[in-house]
Chains A and B, each alone.
Chain A
Amino acid sequence: MSWELFADPSLFRLAVAMAVPLVLASAGEVLMERGGILNVAVEGMVTLGAAAAFLAGFATGSTWVGFTAAAAAGVLVASVLAHYAVVWRQEQVTVGLTLYVLCLGLASLLYRVVVGVRLSPPRVETLQPVSLPVLSQVPVLGEVLFRQHALVYLSAAVVAAAHVLLFRTALGLRLRSVGENPVAADTVGVDVFRLRRAAAAAGGALVGLAGASLPFTLTGTFTEGIAGGRGWIALMLVIFGRWTPAGAAGGALLFAYVEALQFKLAMTSRAVPPQFLQMLPYLFAVAVLVRAYRGAQAPGALGKPYHREARA
């Protein structure tokens, strides 16, 4: 095995493409957590988004309808979670885990109802790479960054937009204050409840889109285990990135690199059984997590319901 494998431009190109679902899902989760809502249903929502996207795309033949369906599914589930968390003040991890199980069940149920039982699984067309003019001609970087499918560019735009929204606008400041100290935010007239629900809906749409990216860019099909832990990893990336969209995206690239490397190694190396290579990203995630927890400071009111009439 040659060490050039680890720095191969095609490996970086694959890693950038594989980072898309992680970037979108973690950006969505950052928005929700900044507002104070902890959503542990991400893995389920990614799976449901993948199913909704695949089925809508399969039924209509339109990629756009697929993406819309996935985003809608994400908004719906996140809004249910937000209602339980904000209005009913239920424990968010409990509700989130229940929704996680519900989403997993719904995803394969919907698939079965729409597709039925077939000998060979139906496929949707995956997105083709779009070369950006001029930029794609830059040596190495052009191939890695600018000959990608449209979702890669969209993800970059989402991260930039989420960053500006959170840290450069009044709305972002209000959202962060709602997640940090809802009593103070309420005192100065910020609508804590509405802002939390809005952040949940926006985040849910992004998590749904993350799911849609799986069938439309990586697999072309839907299977029950399609999310493969990416939702959970997105949740960890939020901590890794210190609750910033850009930090989480950086972690996503790092993680996607290990994932892509595992693919390449499985193709070239026969010495190690493939299952042990497949374990690598998950063990890597645990190792990264240990590092990420050092000094991590979550939003002050994360996971805590806001009760106006309760004494502090």
Chain B
Amino acid sequence: MTTGAAPRGGWQAAWPYAGALAIALAVLAGLVAALGGNASEALAGVFRAAFGTGAGLGQTLNKTTPLLLGSLAVVLGLRAGVFNIGVDGQIYAGAVAATGAAFLLADVPRAVALPGVLLAGLAGGAAWGLLPGLLRARMGVNEIFVTVMLNFVALFLVEYLSTGPWNDPTAGEAITRAIPPQATLPWLFARAGAHAGVLLALAAAGGVWLLLYRTVFGYELRATGDNPSAALVGGVPVARVVAVALVASGALAGLAGAVEVSGFHYRLILGLSPGYGMMAILIAVLSRRHPLLAVPAALGFAALLVGTDSLQRSVGLPASAVFVVQAALLLVLLAVEGVRRAR
């Protein structure tokens, strides 16, 4: 999507984003009006809910975490020329591994238990990225299909664990027993209810940037994504780079799953990811596949998510409406870019 468009700097580059955001908010207002609500009040409510109160800000930061980690996973894949559509499945795989580790590490101090849980999340997500990575590298099987199919496998695995062996019998729904307290993430702002996961996500953004732009592997990865045949001729082990990129991408998503378990839900639940993986794709495209630009984009999407959550309570806007708003935003942006190109 970046090919062909002339690079523009400063405000000229910013105005399509502002326009797209305005249109997305107009879509949101229209949806509220269609449900019989007061559109301008609702839009003000979105901002109040996301940024206006300490608790709202805390929720926005909490939602930023999985969105940022997920979009970094997609960015890493895109830079290597692969589409990781399986972020949701990898989030669940990471959450399963993290929950399992938390149960196993019930009797050890936090200094061991918490890193163990987070590492387990990384490993779970990486495991989910391994199969698509290997199939792509060895047999040329398109990773889109394999990652998507594994989403369903992960969902059924979570359903099995949360209703079966790990089920909390007192809850009466598809959730597992709570993880022990020493496996939980500490607070960042306790009064706002913001956990420290967002720091991990920010560190990951910096880490991905360093990896992409300051290491040999990152150079090879970008070369593979930009032009695989040229990279191959230049001596880059293209197949291995792609496989490693998908495994690393899965690991980032898996970390998101671990953070959701250890920072937010304190257990494994069905519905742990309300489509974070799909939003992550949109964020990655929106941020032009750049790990640092993904930070503000993820924050913005998190605010939209928290804001529309409040509309769910006040005017009965369904949770899925946020997909419409976010996708509309990106479609407008792609259209602006397209019109410029066709001119």
Q: Do A and B make up one complex?
A: yes
Interface residues of A (CB under 8 A from B): 40, 43, 80, 84, 87-91, 93-95, 97-102, 104-109, 112-113, 117, 224, 228-229, 232, 235-236, 239, 273, 275-276, 278-279, 282-283, 285-286, 289-290, 293-294
Asked if B334 CB lies within 8 Å of chain A CBs, one says yes
Q: Complex Cα distance A98/B278, Å? A: 9
Asked if B85 CB lies within 8 Å of chain A CBs, one says yes
Q: Complex Cα distance A5/B31, Å? A: 50
Q: Is chain B's binding surface mostly helix, strand, loop or mixed? A: helix
Q: A105: which of B144, B164, B316, B320 is its contact (CB, 8 Å)? A: B320
* A-B contact sample (20 more), CB < 8 A, given A97-B281, A293-B142: A84-B335, A87-B342, A90-B341, A97-B83, A98-B282, A101-B281, A105-B320, A105-B327, A108-B320, A109-B31, A112-B316, A275-B156, A275-B159, A275-B164, A279-B152, A285-B149, A286-B131, A286-B145, A286-B149, A290-B139
Q: Complex Cα distance A224/B335, Å? A: 28
Q: Complex Cα distance A277/B31, Å? A: 39
Asked if B322 CB lies within 8 Å of chain A CBs, one says yes
Asked if B330 CB lies within 8 Å of chain A CBs, one says yes
Quick check: A88 and B341 within 8 Å, CB to CB? yes
Which residues of B sit under 8 angstroms from A98, Cβ to Cβ?
Answer: 281-282, 285, 327, 330-331, 334
- B side interface size, CB within 8 A: 53
Asked if B337 CB lies within 8 Å of chain A CBs, one says yes
CB nearest to A235 among chain B residues: B145
Q: B278: which of A88, A104, A294 is its contact (CB, 8 Å)? A: A104
Quick check: A101 and B146 within 8 Å, CB to CB? no
Report the minimum CB–CB distance from A51 to chain B (whole Å): 11
Asked if B153 CB lies within 8 Å of chain A CBs, one says yes
Report the minimum CB–CB distance from B290 to chain A (whole Å): 15
Q: Complex Cα distance A286/B149, Å? A: 7
Asked if B111 CB lies within 8 Å of chain A CBs, one says no
Q: Complex Cα distance A97/B152, Å? A: 18
CB nearest to A95 among chain B residues: B334
Q: Complex Cα distance A88/B343, Å? A: 9
Which residues of B sit under 8 angstroms from A273, Cβ to Cβ?
Answer: 160, 164
Q: A94: which of B35, B131, B334 is its contact (CB, 8 Å)? A: B334
7 contacts between A and B (CB under 8 A): A90-B341, A97-B281, A109-B321, A235-B145, A273-B160, A276-B160, A289-B145
Q: Complex Cα distance A276/B160, Å? A: 8
CB nearest to B337 among chain A residues: A90
Quick check: B323 and A101 within 8 Å, CB to CB? yes
Asked if B104 CB lies within 8 Å of chain A CBs, one says no
Q: Complex Cα distance A232/B83, Å? A: 14
Which residues of A sit under 8 angstroms from B232, Cβ to Cβ?
Answer: none
Q: Which residues of chain B from 273 to 329 have a CB within 8 Å of any chain A CB?
A: 275, 278-279, 281-282, 285, 316, 318, 320-328
Which residues of A sit under 8 angstroms from B337, Cβ to Cβ?
Answer: 88, 90
Which residues of B sit under 8 angstroms from A89, Cβ to Cβ?
Answer: 4, 338, 341-342
CB nearest to B2 among chain A residues: A91
Tell me the total A-B contact number using a CB cutoff of 8 A. 140
Q: Is chain A's binding surface mostly helix, strand, loop or mixed? A: helix
Q: Complex Cα distance A229/B325, Å? A: 23
Q: Complex Cα distance A84/B1, Å? A: 11
Q: A105-B320, A108-B320 are in contact. Are A282 and B153 (CB under 8 A)?
A: yes
Quick check: B331 and A102 within 8 Å, CB to CB? yes
Report the minimum CB–CB distance from A211 to chain B (whole Å): 16
CB nearest to B340 among chain A residues: A88
CB nearest to B339 among chain A residues: A88
Q: A101: which of B131, B139, B326 is its contact (CB, 8 Å)? A: B326
Quick check: B160 and A275 within 8 Å, CB to CB? yes
CB nearest to A43 among chain B residues: B148
0/1 per residue, B134-152, Cβ < 8 Å to A? 0100011110111011101
Q: Complex Cα distance A285/B321, Å? A: 31
Q: Complex Cα distance A282/B156, Å? A: 11
Q: Complex Cα distance A43/B148, Å? A: 11
Which residues of A sit under 8 angstroms from B135, Cβ to Cβ?
Answer: 286, 289-290
Q: A89-B342, A286-B145 are in contact. Are A102 and B323 (CB under 8 A)?
A: yes
Which residues of B sit under 8 angstroms from A278, Cβ to Cβ?
Answer: 156
Quick check: A286 and B328 within 8 Å, CB to CB? no
Which residues of A sit under 8 angstroms from B159, Cβ to Cβ?
Answer: 275
CB nearest to B31 among chain A residues: A109
Q: A113-B35, A229-B149, A293-B139 are in contact. Are A105 and B324 (CB under 8 A)?
A: yes
Asked if B157 CB lies within 8 Å of chain A CBs, one says yes
Which residues of A sit under 8 angstroms from B330, Cβ to Cβ?
Answer: 98
Q: Complex Cα distance A87/B342, Å? A: 7
CB nearest to B163 among chain A residues: A275
